[in-house]
Amino acid sequence: MNSTSLEQWETVIGLEIHAQLATRSKIFSGSATAYGAPPNTQANLVDLGYPGVLPVLNGAAVRMAIKFGLAIDAEIAARSVFARKNYFYPDLPKGYQISQYELPIVARGALEIVLDDGTRKRIGITRAHLEEDAGKSLHEGLPGATGIDLNRAGTPLIEIVSEPDLRSAKEAVAYMKKVHTLVRYLEICDGNMQEGSFRCDANVSVRRRGTKQLGTRTETKNLNSFRFVEKAIQYEVARQIDVLESGGRVVQETRLYDPDRGETRPMRSKEEANDYRYFPDPDLLPVVLAREFIEEVRGSLPELPDRKAERFAAEYGLSVYDAGVLTASRELAGYYEEVARLTPGDPKLAANWVMGELAAALNRDGLDITASRLSAAQLAGLIARIRDATISGKLAKEVFEAMWTSRRDADAVIEEKGLKQITDSSAIERAIEEVMAKNPGQLADYRSGKDKLFGFFVGQVMKATQGKANPAQVNELLKKKLAG
Partner 1 sequence: MSWHARTLTELATALRARELTSVELTRLLLKRIEAAQPKLNAFVSVTTEAALAAAAQADRTLAAGSAGPLVGLPIIHKDIFCTDGVRTTCGSRMLDNFVAPYDATVVAKLKAAGMVMLGKSNMDEFAMGSSNETSFYGPVRNPWDARLVPGGSSGGSAAAVAARLGPAATATDTGGSIRQPAALCGVTGLKPTYGRVSRYGMIAFASSLDQGGILATSAEDVALLLGAIAGFDPRDSTSVDRPVPDYAAALGRPVAGLKIGVLKEFFDTGLDPRNARCVRDALAVYERLGAAIREVSLPNIGLSVPAYYVVAPAECSSNLARFDGLRFGYRCKDPRDLTDLYCRSRGEGFGAEVKRRIMTGTYVLSAGYYDAYYLKAQKVRQLIANEFEHAFNEVDVIMGPTTPTPAFELGAKTSDPVTMYLNDIYTIGANLAGLPALSIPCGFVGELPVGLQIIGPHFAEERLLAAAHSYQRETDWHRRIPSGYE
Element spanning 420, H or E: none
* Residue selected from 84, 199, 255, 330 as contacting partner 1 according to rule CB under 8 A: 84
* Residues 158 and 19 sit within 8 Å (Cβ to Cβ): yes
Subset of residues 46 to 75 that bind partner 1, contact rule: CB under 8 A: 48-57
**DSSP assigned state of 159:** E
Q: Among candidates 377, 379, 320, which has minimal Cα distance to 349?
A: 379
Subset of residues 314 to 373 that bind partner 1, contact rule: CB under 8 A: none
Where are the alpha helices (H) located in 58-145, listed in sequence order? 59-71
* Residues 287 and 64 sit within 8 Å (Cβ to Cβ): no
What's the start-to-end Cα distance of the chain, in Å?
Answer: 72
**Checking DSSP bridges between strand 218-223 and strand 254-258, what pairing results, if any?**
parallel
Helix, strand, coil tally for the chain in percent (to 5): 40, 20, 40
Q: Which stretch binds partner 1 (CB under 8 A): 64-72, 246-254, 282-290, 412-420?
A: 282-290
Phi, psi (degrees; rounded to nearest 5) at 207: -150, 160
Minimum distance, C-beta of residue 82 to partner 1, in the bound complex (Å): 10
* Residue selected from 1, 45, 320, 377 as contacting partner 1 according to rule CB under 8 A: 45
* Residue selected from 18, 26, 67, 94 as contacting partner 1 according to rule CB under 8 A: 94
- CA 255/CA 236 separation, integer angstroms: 10
The amino acid that residue 259 corresponds to is P
* Residues 253 and 265 sit within 8 Å (Cβ to Cβ): no
Q: Which is nearer to partner 1, 48 or 328 (CB)?
A: 48
Minimum distance, C-beta of residue 217 to partner 1, in the bound complex (Å): 19
- CA 478/CA 472 separation, integer angstroms: 10
Subset of residues 137 to 196 that bind partner 1, contact rule: CB under 8 A: 148
Give how many residues touch partner 1 by CB under 8 A: 28
* Residue selected from 10, 32, 39, 86 as contacting partner 1 according to rule CB under 8 A: 86
* Residues 46 and 279 sit within 8 Å (Cβ to Cβ): no
Q: Which stretch binds partner 1 (CB under 8 A): 254-262, 280-288, 299-307, 422-430?
A: 280-288
Minimum distance, C-beta of residue 150 to partner 1, in the bound complex (Å): 9
Under the criterion CB under 8 A, does residue 93 sit at the interface with partner 1?
A: yes
Minimum distance, C-beta of residue 293 to partner 1, in the bound complex (Å): 18
Q: Which is nearer to partner 1, 286 or 334 (CB)?
A: 286
Minimum distance, C-beta of residue 275 to partner 1, in the bound complex (Å): 5
Q: Which is nearer to partner 1, 95 or 248 (CB)?
A: 95
Element spanning 97, H or E: strand 96-100
The amino acid that residue 426 corresponds to is S
- CA 442/CA 181 separation, integer angstroms: 59
Q: Which is nearer to partner 1, 47 or 171 (CB)?
A: 47
- CA 459/CA 441 separation, integer angstroms: 16
* Residues 349 and 343 sit within 8 Å (Cβ to Cβ): yes
- CA 286/CA 269 separation, integer angstroms: 34
Q: Which is nearer to partner 1, 89 or 456 (CB)?
A: 89
Minimum distance, C-beta of residue 46 to partner 1, in the bound complex (Å): 9
* Residue selected from 36, 144, 282, 440 as contacting partner 1 according to rule CB under 8 A: 282
* Residue selected from 73, 75, 95, 214 as contacting partner 1 according to rule CB under 8 A: 95
Q: Which is nearer to partner 1, 95 or 266 (CB)?
A: 95
Q: What's the length of the chain?
A: 484
Q: Which stretch binds partner 1 (CB under 8 A): 62-70, 86-94, 166-174, 376-384?
A: 86-94
Q: Which stretch binds partner 1 (CB under 8 A): 80-88, 125-133, 256-264, 387-395?
A: 80-88
Subset of residues 220 to 279 that bind partner 1, contact rule: CB under 8 A: 275, 277-279
Minimum distance, C-beta of residue 378 to partner 1, in the bound complex (Å): 50
Q: Among candidates 181, 191, 197, which has minimal Cα distance to 304?
A: 181
Minimum distance, C-beta of residue 149 to partner 1, in the bound complex (Å): 13
Buried b (16+ CB within 10 A) or exposed e, 216-245: ebbbbbebbbbebbbbbbbbbbbbbbeebe
Q: Which is nearer to partner 1, 286 or 467 (CB)?
A: 286
**173: exposed, middle or buried (C-beta count within 10 Å: 0-12, 13-18, 19+)?**
buried
* Residue selected from 88, 364, 426, 452 as contacting partner 1 according to rule CB under 8 A: 88
* Residue selected from 68, 96, 336, 400 as contacting partner 1 according to rule CB under 8 A: 96
Q: Which is nearer to partner 1, 103 or 432 (CB)?
A: 103
Q: Which stretch binds partner 1 (CB under 8 A): 71-79, 88-96, 125-133, 258-266?
A: 88-96
Instruction: Give the interface with partner 1 as residue ranges (CB under 8 A).
Output: 45, 48-57, 84, 86, 88, 90, 93-96, 148, 275, 277-279, 282-285
